[in-house]
A and B are shown apart, each in its own frame.
Chain A
Amino acid sequence: MPTSKFLILFFILLYVAFSCKEDDPEPLSSKGVLRGQLVVHDEERTDITIKLSGPYGDKKITIDSDTFDLYDNNFFLRDLSNGNYVLTISKEGCNTIENVNVRSFGIDTSYIGLFNLFPVFLNFQRPNIVLHHQDQENVYFSSTIEGSNLRIFFSSRNDVSYKKYQDCESLSIYGQNSERISKSHLAFKKGSKIYAIAYHAIGNDQGYFNMYGYRIYSSINPEIHSDVISFTLE
């Protein structure tokens, strides 16, 4: 047999050996449905993109008033293969909802939660907070910026932010008044050094849990925040 045929066979063999890799897994089912609810605040219910990144690739849908259930604000993600997914909801001019862990298995319809899309705070002055004083029961904060609806995030580390914190509270500060937070509401022991950072927020923003276990408030503009202040809990 000529050497060329021998070589051809050899390369065919090599090709088959290396192509014998594990195939991509096939889903057990592709009929899963996820139901969520979405409330869009102060914006039109158009051009909203919902993306699911999963084990079999990404799935994207764009929803608008026609595809929304106007009564219950339901949206549906259909024909899903089984597995875990990461959900992202975005709309131009709104803060993106991201890193939400959802999953589909079988052919059932699973509820994944209620989400709120808020417009991004633009042209807002940077908030500030000042520790006013403490008494036995409460910690008092004030702000030099009037009419501040704030969400304050607390941590015992100075890398505190809206997505990495150990406690948070909502505070509305008007005029020159100081507003209080009950010490019994703060997840820190007496004597702890606490770092705090404030963001503008909307009071009825209930937030959503991201996959890392943090409640994320989607009315917050991450770019506009106070300096980090620190105090010791007396």
Chain B
Amino acid sequence: MKTLKNIQLLFAILLLLSLFSCQKEQVATPHLEGSIIGKVFTFDEFGEVISDNSGVLIKVENYGSISTVTDYYGQFELKGLATGTYTLTAGKEGFGNSIKYDVKHYGGKPTSLSGLYYGYGPFILVEKSSGQIINMEIKNDTIYSIIKFSTESFPSFIQVHIYYSQSFSDFKAICSDVHLLNHIGNGYYKGRWRSQYNLPDSQTFYVKACTFASIETFSFYEMGVDPSYAMYREPKTGQIVVPYQGEESEIFTVYANK
């Protein structure tokens, strides 16, 4: 009898515990799971479209270890994401990583990065430039350079960041321009770029540069692609990052002649 009463008491306690544990936790936002879906477009180091967009690794940077890989058409789906704000990265061997900050995922049905109204757009991944700047000269505010590429393709357009300094430090950007290259043989190309600033005359100063693909010649309105998606703004510094630019050249000593 006493044992039976104890069992009854035990069950009553367990019942009460169950009722209390069923209470909902107060949350600021409801927990909705869902996917983020998107697309990646890939370009080679000269800005030519690559048809096979597979093998790009897409990662969620601030949420566990969720990642996926794109298919041939560059499509991907990151599954099982709760409502929240995420940083997404896209990367592939030999290409500059692309980052999308502050991707707001409201959960439920998928969040699509495509379309024109939400400001995210597809990822654009560009092969890192292999351009090596062999020499640089300046004449009448025009910079002349010889560049070697390691690939056998024949680039026609290339973009260049050129920096100059009068003191071997504190380099200032003087050119970020697209120009046509002339092939002078054996993978060497000659190009020229106009400085954005008037350079001091009859002085020695120092320049360095790096090359990167120009993809502005492609109009992808049909596909909702804006070439600016290839770059991103670093949120802490506000600086525009070109993830596919090649290595900076050595510092050249030049004498400006007008």
**Interface residues of A, Cβ cutoff 8 Å to B:** 1, 6, 9-10, 12-13, 16-17, 19-20, 23, 25-28, 53-56, 82-86, 100-101, 103-105, 111-113, 156-157, 164, 166-168, 184-185, 187-189, 192, 209-215
Contact = CB atoms under 8 A, between A and B. Distances in A.
Most buried by A among B5, B15, B24, B51: B51
B240 interface: no
A6 B7 contact: yes
A163 to B, nearest CB: 11
A82 B106 contact: yes
B106 A103 contact: yes
Interface residues of B, number: 53
A215 B218 CA distance: 17
Contacts of A54: 108-109
Interface string B28-42: 111110100111000
B4 interface: yes
Contacts of B31: 25
Contact of A213 (B11, B24, B52, B114): B114
Contacts of A212: 37, 39, 75, 112, 114
Contacts of B223: 166-167, 187, 213, 215
B217 A215 contact: no
A234 to B, nearest CB: 15
A54 B30 CA distance: 14
Contacts of A209: 114-116, 224
Contacts of B73: 164, 166
B243 interface: no
Contacts of B50: 189
A64 B107 CA distance: 31
Given A13-B11, A103-B111, A212-B37, A113 B116 contact: yes
Nearest to B220: A187
B52 A156 contact: yes
Contact of A166 (B8, B51, B111): B51
A9 B15 contact: yes
Given A53-B109, A209-B115, A213-B38, 10 more contacts: A6-B4, A6-B7, A54-B109, A55-B34, A55-B109, A84-B110, A212-B39, A213-B75, A213-B112, A213-B114
A103 B14 CA distance: 43
Interface in B57-98: 72-73, 75, 83
Contacts, number: 135
B237 interface: no
Interface in B102-135: 105-118, 122
B21 interface: yes
Contacts of B12: 9
A188 B75 contact: no
B224 A83 contact: no
Nearest to A84: B109
B8 A55 contact: no
A212 B111 CA distance: 10
Q: Lowest 10 A-B CB distances belong to which pairs?
A: A55-B108, A25-B30, A213-B114, A101-B112, A156-B51, A83-B108, A209-B115, A211-B112, A213-B39, A84-B109
A84 B11 contact: no
A26 B30 contact: yes
Most buried by B among A1, A156, A168, A213: A213
Contacts of B49: 166, 187-189
B7 A84 contact: no
Interface in B194-237: 217-220, 222-224
A212 B51 CA distance: 17
A90 to B, nearest CB: 18
